[in-house]
Amino acid sequence: MRTRILMLKPGADLDRLQSSLRGLGIWTQGLTSGQDDPRALTIEPHSRRVPDDVLASLEGVQSLLASPSDTPKLDALAGQSIQVGKLAIGGGAPPVLAAGPCSAESPELVLAAAADAARSGARLLRGGAFKPRTSPYAFSGCGAEALGWLREAANVHSLGLVTEVMSERDVDSVGAVADLLQVGSRNMANFALLREVGRVGKPVLLKRGRAASLEDWRQAAEHLLHGGASGVIFCERGVAGVGDQRETRNTLDISAVALLKQVERAVVWVDPSHAAGRRDLILPLSRAALAAGADGLLIEAHPEARIARSDGAQALSSAELERLGEELFV
Ligand code: PEP
Ligand code: MN
């Protein structure tokens, strides 16, 4: 379904135009969110079918276009950087490193991990307060309390914060502390969650579902933007491969990174940790990701990986993170 887009004349009287549109049964949204003065409006699909020439002749309308794709909001952001806190990501800016533990296990761990991240050249701290786990009996994070530990540690080291929101219930509390809200692989197509996360109006790191096509992934991003997210960073974290997960956890789809980055001009990160599932492959996969054009890396690191409560096998030690940072980011 092709979305129809109203291109506006410069200085168009938006209030007047909106009331004419409503009178015709037409509902719209700004093409890009967060702009008081949009240059274009998308027509919502539940609007009444009004002939194109009637719409094109309304005061303030320059022209009427049919979006060339079914992801008009994503297309409108092509080639642009995404503002994450004080940091511009993508759109030609140098790649950034986000590092930290899989799970925010204690205030002390988070603080030590943030110090390691900062020392290694990271610009953002990662860490989960809410952990999606395959087994219902596995440690599932410390919950809302850990959000405060993460924000505090990020502040101490002047880092941005990326952390996962797993449930609609937690959108406001995560939205209040995160500079970048992470939607995990298992929730990529949870459309109710995507809508709520969008409502926060912040940028979102959208992990790829383990078996999601690029089309499904793009549509999930469009859901976020339609909900109000200020931008979406695609995060490739490995997809289901042909193996049995004993050698590598997932298959890092470098083609997807190159395609989204070089062809679609989207903002793309790579998470080699969840792709590999083992720490010895993190550095080579990181090199590959940057070679393909990734705008950032999301890497799990733990000062004491041996006793990590989740994903210890793929966590870099403090020294390993520092070496990776030195080679790729400093
Ligand atoms: C994570 O980054 O901690 C995580 C759970 O990743 P994914 O959703 O990619 O499995
Ligand atoms: Mn993890």
Which pLDDT does position 35 carry in this prediction? 61
Q: What is the pLDDT of residues 301-330, one digit of tens each?
A: 999 999 999 999 999 999 999 999 999 997
Q: Is the per-residue pLDDT at 34 higher than 80?
A: no
Q: 215: closest CA among 223, 205, 227, 204?
A: 223
Phi-psi region of 229 (alpha: psi -120 to 50; beta: other; left: phi over 0): beta
Percent of the chain at pLDDT exceeding 90: 91
Q: Give the distance (Å) from ligand 1 centre to CA of residue 88.
A: 23
At 214, is the secondary structure helix, strand, or coil?
A: helix
Evaluate whether 210 touches 185 at the Cβ level (below 8 Å).
yes
Q: What is the pLDDT of residues 188-224, one digit of tens each?
A: 999 999 999 999 999 999 999 999 999 999 999 999 9
Q: Is the per-residue pLDDT at 43 higher than 80?
A: yes
Q: Is the per-residue pLDDT at 63 higher than 90?
A: yes
Q: What is the pLDDT of residues 233-257, one digit of tens each?
A: 999 999 998 877 889 999 999 999 9
3-state DSSP percent of the chain in helix, strand and coil, to 5: 40, 20, 40
Q: Give the distance (Å) from ligand 1 centre to CA of residue 271.
A: 9
pLDDT band at 58 (very low <50, low <70, confident <90, very high): very high
Angle value at C-alpha 123, between 139 and 236, nearest 5 degrees: 60
Q: Is the per-residue pLDDT at 1 higher than 90?
A: no
Strand partners of residue 182: 164, 205
Q: Is the per-residue pLDDT at 14 higher than 80?
A: yes
Kindly report the backbone phi and psi dihedral angles of residue 86, in degrees, each rounded to the nearest multiple of 5, phi listed first: -90, 0
pTM: 0.94
Q: What is the pLDDT of residues 134-187, one digit of tens each?
A: 999 999 999 999 999 999 999 999 999 999 999 999 999 999 999 999 999 999
Looking from the CA of residue 207, the nearest atom of ligand 1 is 9
pLDDT band at 27 (very low <50, low <70, confident <90, very high): very high
Q: Give the distance (Å) from ligand 1 centre to CA of residue 127.
A: 10
Looking from the CA of residue 310, the nearest atom of ligand 1 is 3
Which pLDDT does position 36 carry in this prediction? 65
Q: Give the distance (Å) from ligand 1 centre to CA of residue 83.
A: 22
Q: Give the distance (Å) from ligand 2 centre to CA of residue 297.
A: 14
Average pLDDT, the chain: 96
Evaluate whether 28 touches 43 at the Cβ level (below 8 Å).
yes
Q: Which of 274, 282, 297, 302 to mutate to test the pocket of ligand 1 (most atoms within 8 A of CB)?
A: 274
Structure-token pair, residue 292: 């393909």
Q: Is the per-residue pLDDT at 123 higher than 90?
A: yes
Q: What is the pLDDT of residues 249-283, one digit of tens each?
A: 999 999 999 999 999 999 999 999 999 999 999 99
Higher confidence at residue 66 or residue 129? 129
Q: 261: closest CA among 229, 222, 234?
A: 234
Q: How far apart are CA 134 and CA 140, in angstroms?
A: 10
What lines the ligand 1 site, CB under 6 Å? 102, 128, 132, 184-185, 207, 237, 271, 274
Residues bordering ligand 2, an ion, CB closer than 5 Å: 102, 311
Which pLDDT does position 124 carry in this prediction? 98
Is the sign of the CA dihedral 36, 14, 218, 169 positive or negative?
positive
Looking from the CA of residue 187, the nearest atom of ligand 1 is 8
Average pLDDT over residues 46-52: 92
Average pLDDT over residues 40-64: 93
